[in-house]
Amino acid sequence: MTACLFPGQGSQRKGMAGELFDAYPELCATADEILGYSIRELCLENPGGKLRHTAFTQPALFVAGALIWLDRTQREPPPDFVAGHSLGEYNALFAAGCFDFATGLRLVQRRGALMAEIEHGGMAAVLGLDAGKVQNVLRAEGADEGERAVDIANFNLPTQLVLSGPKAVLEGLVAPMEAAGARRCLLLNVSGAFHSRYMAATADAFASYLYRFRFEPPRIPVIANTTARPYGDDIAGPLVAQIRTSVRWSETMDYLLTQGVREASELGPGKVLRKLWASALEAAKPSEAGLAETAEPTTAPDTPPARIAADTTLATPASWTATTLGSSAFREAFGLRAAYVAGAPAPGIRGAEWVTNLAQAGLLGFLDPPGNDLETATQAIARVARELGTGDAFGVTLTGDEQLVDAALGHGVRFAETGGTQISTEISPALLRFRFRGAYLDAGGRPVALRRLLARAGRSSVAERWLKPAPDELIERLVRQGELDASEADVARRLPVCSDLCVVPELDEALPTLLPAVQRLRDRLAADLKLPQETVPQIGAGGALGTPEAIACAFLLGADFVETGAINLCTVEAAIAPAVKQLLAGLKLGDTTPAPALDGFALGTQTRVVGRGSLFAPRARKLYELFRFHDALEDLAPAQRETLEASYFGRSFEAIWDEIRGETSSSGVSPVDPKDRMARVFAWYLRQTLHWGLTGEPGRELSYQIPCDESLAAFNAWVADSPLAEPSARRVADLGQRLMDASASWLSRRLAAA
């Protein structure tokens, strides 16, 4: 396996790309037209020392890298992977066919111009200290928050880091870093605190420009700086995030090594990346692990707030990052960068693009194809499994459909959730089969389940069902039917039904009350079952989480992971109507209202929906009131019936009932109880209004049902006056990364000041 690596800012030198300018005169002419000056003269002669200035450096490096790549393609086959260090990532994306030469040049020209406007701050290289020790020094010197905050902008190697922040603070850190054991700490000749929290405004300005362009999916896997994992279809999101977050180059090289890459070529001037790769390759040798010398950079790659891949506790808040919040066991079990799940309060809107973009960012999503079409769902599972392989985590939404479980098992799916983000109450045989197929006892007699199942609970009584083993009669039935063998059934009797449980409080519950109660319940049941530590269910928090503060509070309560919901409705990947997304992006606090829920309608279960512009909530409440006080449709007064059929349903009760019977006839279900018939007819309306609301059905605006809680309104307020105010700029993985980064930062500031 091979890789091509493209260097970033700091590698430029006079004469780069040399004779290749003669080989590609048309591209050089295109560059001259876009830039307004001679790119050949800039690279070969460096008039006035312009290559030192960011606005000129970035276009020059991109052109040089592009020409070197094109020259390579004439002589050698494509590599298996490409990656670029910060600015070099644009060359990697060009090499992978995500955009053409002119587009790439325009992007780096704007990027360089925006970064050239930064006049305050600086960067410093620290050699010989790992990230944890560097953070300890920052905390001890008061450089971890407020106006003195310094971020780790770049992880070149485990003990070769670049800091970014106020110049005066960096100058004062040289001696403390060297006293802490650094072989060297040196200030770099740059004009700003690049790729740190101080670049947020620059990132937003670049986003407004970047989202004008359309990009193609990579033809060669491109490893992203921000995630150290391959890009998905979302090209713009990681490029925006790259400006304000750290370049995870050390992790990028580790990922390439795990994929079998042993030969990596540096395509560009200089040899910084070549030295870093040699160090990583040497460190990967089992007999010599940890003994390799690190290469000293001669210049600073243009690099980004720190992410430390190590767990922390409340005693060390300054070291918190997006990658350390929550449970390391949860992250490791799913192979995630952060303990974050992106859900949605409506079914059928999370397709393949949703899942792959999250997975490639190191976050978790569950595939929930729209409708009940098994063929469509199976094709979506196959597509995601093919695109992601075994390197990234993704899951599938399962209910009681045996065929869908067969499809998931057939494509090697290891993770599933129960019934979408709705509260899970039913333990079906299909879910048990998915969870325990292939389970066994290891050599030490410990139960091992090969797959994980995430359930949700809004009350402790529901949580208890999932945190216990399945009822024995249900397990016995699966054994009799040949769905589980004796050893699999033995494990099913020893382990909880779910491996992970998300607490999503119902309307009359509160997370600060419910989450600790479920955690204590989990601990008691785990002790009763004598569960090995690795099989104890992880308990997460969901519901109204839409701001950094809300997510931070969930982690303070001890959540192992968090799951967002409503904020993801108006993202690019959500499969709902654009007009509905625009409506959701304008929601303010107070624009949602309680309404009877489709699941549990007869029991009076409630959910929150958009109230602005729709009569669904009062109409649904009216239906529930009629259901409570009448035993049959025939008991309704003629005037009531006429209103329902004409204004609510748009169809007669008989026509609706005929449709329901047609849908259930194949299973032999034919309920005759009048009360049940009434409930099913009213539930038909709730299903229809949900479909109308998500698809933006014309003429049905007054009946739109759009599940949504106040978290989206809070999120809208958080991103107001930024590019993310528009749903077209909201990418589901980018939202997750931003929220987790901001939550870690908020926690560190608040608790350090306490």
- State the amino acid at position 252 in one-letter form: T
- DSSP label of 125: E
Write out the DSSP string of 35-76. Answer: HSS-HHHHHHH-GGGGGGSHHHHHHHHHHHHHHHHHHHHTTS
Q: What is the 3-state secondary structure (H, E, C) of 338-406?
A: CCEEECCCCCCCECHHHHHHHHHCCCECEEECCCCCHHHHHHHHHHHHHHHCCCCCCEEEECCCHHHHH
Active site residue 195: yes
Whole-number Å distance between alpha carbons of 302 and 283: 25
Nearest-angstrom CA–CA distance, 170 and 151: 10
Of residues 554, 561, 541, 570, the one with CA closest to residue 713: 570
Residue 80 to residue 62: CA distance in whole angstroms:
21
In the β-sheet with 538-541, what is the strand arrangement from edge to edge?
340-342, 562-564, 538-541, 500-503, 452-457, 415-418, 395-398, 366-367
What is the Cα–Cα distance from 64 to 554, expressed in whole angstroms? 48
Catalytic member of 195, 279, 499, 711:
195
β 81-84/222-223 pair status: parallel
CB 116 within 8 A of CB 55: yes
Cβ atoms of 87 and 154 within 8 Å: the answer is: no
**CB count in 10 Å sphere of residue 140:** 12
What is the distance between the terminal CA atoms of the chain, rounded to a whole angstrom? 51
Helix H or strand E segment including 362: none
The active-site residue, picked from 86, 424, 499, 703, is: 86
Active site residues: 86, 195
